[in-house]
Amino acid sequence: MATFEKATFTDQTIEVDGNLYEDCKFNNCTLVYRGGDVPQFYDCKFKGGDVKLEGGATRTAEYLSRLNRAGLSLGVENVISRVKGGQIPNRMRPPGPDAVNVGKHYGRLAAYIGVLLFVAFVIMGFFWFAYLTNPNTTLADSEDVRPLSEQIPLDIMPALPDNLAEAYDSIYAEQYDQLASYAWINQDAGVAQIPVDDAIALILERGMPSPVSGEE
């Protein structure tokens, strides 16, 4: 890079790539730029003259021209607009219907769905494992001997019939009485029911009874 200070150029052709000019005067000069480092001008005065592109600079202009002819006029005009506005174009996308361009990344979508399904199966497997290893206590296994009508707050289950708990308690009491009482099942065949505690004691004392004739 060459630096010029307070220099005066008159009727000259000057290759300006990479140069620094401070407080210089250019009278009717042609500035030649070839695409090298951008020259810098501070407090310079230009009277007449012209600018000429050569080498890579000319190729860049020709490249834009070729894009324009190839059908990319929107993109080229965007670049021109940025250049005229004093902005350095770096990466620009021409306006167009591409904003609604969807449905191109099916592979990525499939991968995301696969990951979501895998996570869902892992969570389901976790709950299934938890259920197998530590199942919830059911009412039948519960040691709570209070009537169901006292265990279930009926006011938070308005969809259930009002007497559901009472009906359950009634059936439970009837079956409990049946297990704890003596009665004939088939007197002619000599089949009777006895309290389950007595039955257990008899089985322990005498062993398993032989099947009654005619019954399996």
Partner 1 sequence: METVTNKFFDDEIVYVDNNAFIGCSFSEVTLVYTGGVLPEFTNCQFDSVALRFEDTASKTLKFLSDLPDLGFSGALDDVVQSIRAGTVE
Site map (CB under 8 A) of partner 1, residues 34-73, x = contact:
-xxxxx-x--x-x--xxx-x-xxxxxxxxxxxxxxxxxx-
CB 16 within 8 A of CB 9: no
- The CA distances from residue 50 to 10, 82, 191, in Å, are 12, 22, 125
- Alpha-carbon Rg for the chain, nearest whole angstrom, is 49
Say whether residue 197 binds partner 1 (CB under 8 A): no
* Minimum CB distance to partner 1, residue 130 (Å): 44
Between 44 and 148, name the residue whose CB sits nearer to partner 1: 44
The 3-state DSSP class for residue 190 equals coil
Beta-sheet strand order (sheet of 50-53)? 13-15, 30-33, 50-53
Question: Restricting to residues 85-144, which ones interact with partner 1 according to CB under 8 A?
Answer: 85-94, 96, 98, 101, 104
Among 9, 19, 29, 75, which residue interacts with partner 1 (rule: CB under 8 A)? 75
CB of 16: closest distance to partner 1 in angstroms?
8
Bridge-based pairing state of the strands 40-42 and 183-186:
unpaired
In the DSSP assignment, the letter for residue 159 is T
- DSSP letter for 31, please: E
Q: Which is nearer to partner 1, 89 or 125 (CB)?
A: 89
Name which position in 4, 32, 78, 166 contacts partner 1 (CB under 8 A). Answer: 78
Write out the residues near partner 1 by the rule CB under 8 A.
Answer: 31, 33, 35-39, 41, 44, 46, 49-51, 53, 55-72, 75-76, 78-80, 82-94, 96, 98, 101, 104
